[in-house]
Structure 1
Amino acid sequence: MKNVKMPASDSYRDYLIESLKEPEEAAGYIEAILEEKEPERELFRNAIRKVIEARIRMNALSASAKQHHEKLDKMLTASGGSEIYCFVELLEALGFKLAITVENSELPADSESTKIGESERAPEPANL
């Protein structure tokens, strides 16, 4: 039998990292990981790493986010994320659900915000 080469294609990991560049996708991915009933020890840590990698590929990781990630990664390395999942379980026992959403601002947390002034807003449509 001939050796057959499989066609070259993007790996699932590359596809995942590319999709995590979209804030809604990244939020949904993290939220899905937190909803796991019997999560693997490193699951949350790896999910955060993938979201961070997507931001790095976009050149959209602030110095502040990098510092917070390094601190969280050290904590998760020591505990495997057990405190995060314990918190989620406590919330569920109390009748709450943790939700991950996209912040309204497109700017990184450590940059100055910009607000649209009255004269820069698009006019509202007239009621006909």
Structure 2
Amino acid sequence: MNAPRNVSYQGYLLESLKDPAEAAAYVEAALELDDPAALLLALRQVAKAHGMAEVARRADVGEKTLFRTLSENGNPTIATLHKVLHAVGLRLSITPEHA
């Protein structure tokens, strides 16, 4: 990701996270940190890129629930995580830890 100098990092990040491949790589990198807070931050950024209200609508969860779920202290269920990922065009998959 090389942001033009006249664009803020946050703006550039949110724009790039609209691309499903970029969003998937971003969330994957957060997962590799093995830190739940980093994963929630990554998911929050991806949801912001797609518009939190729109993600909440597509995921069939309330906006307050979405904000709370993806907050620093959030603890989403697998069902909610699946809904949010689906709402932004991603899906959960499992791979062997050591290939």
TM-score band (shorter)?
0.5 to 0.7
Q: 1:23 aligns with which of 8, 20, 23?
A: 20
User: Is the 1:55–1:61 Cα contact (8 Å) retained in structure 2?
Assistant: yes
Residues 10, 27 of structure 1: alpha-carbon distance in 2 compared, 3 angstrom cutoff: same
Instruction: Give the number of the structure whose residues are more often helix, by fraction.
Output: 2
Q: Which runs of 4+ in 1 moved over 6 A?
A: none
Q: Distance in 1 between matches of 2:38 and 2:58?
A: 23
TM-score with structure 2 length normalisation? Answer: 0.53
Give 5+ residue unaligned stretches, structure 1.
Answer: 1-7, 85-94, 98-128
**Which amino acid letter does the alignment assign opposite residue 42 of structure 1?**
A
**TM-score for both structures, normalised by structure 1:** 0.43
1:66/1:24 Cα in 2 relative to 1: closer, same or farther (>3 Å)?
Answer: farther
Partner of 1:33: 30
Q: Which has the higher contact order (CA 8 A, sep 6+)?
A: 1
Q: Structure 1 residues 14 and 77 mapped into 2: Cα distance closer, same or farther (>3 Å)? A: closer
Query: Which of residues 42, 52, 69 is equivalent to 2:37?
Result: 42
CA RMSD of aligned residues (A): 3.7
How far apart in 1 are the matches of 2:63 and 2:20? 17
Within 2, Cα distance between the matches of 1:52 and 1:43? Answer: 14
Change (3 A) 1:14 1:67: same
Task: Provide the C-alpha distance between the structure 2 equivalents of 1:45 and 1:66, rounded to a whole number of angstroms.
Answer: 19
Distance in 2, Cα, partners of 1:68 & 1:96 = 34
Q: Percent identity at matched positions?
A: 34
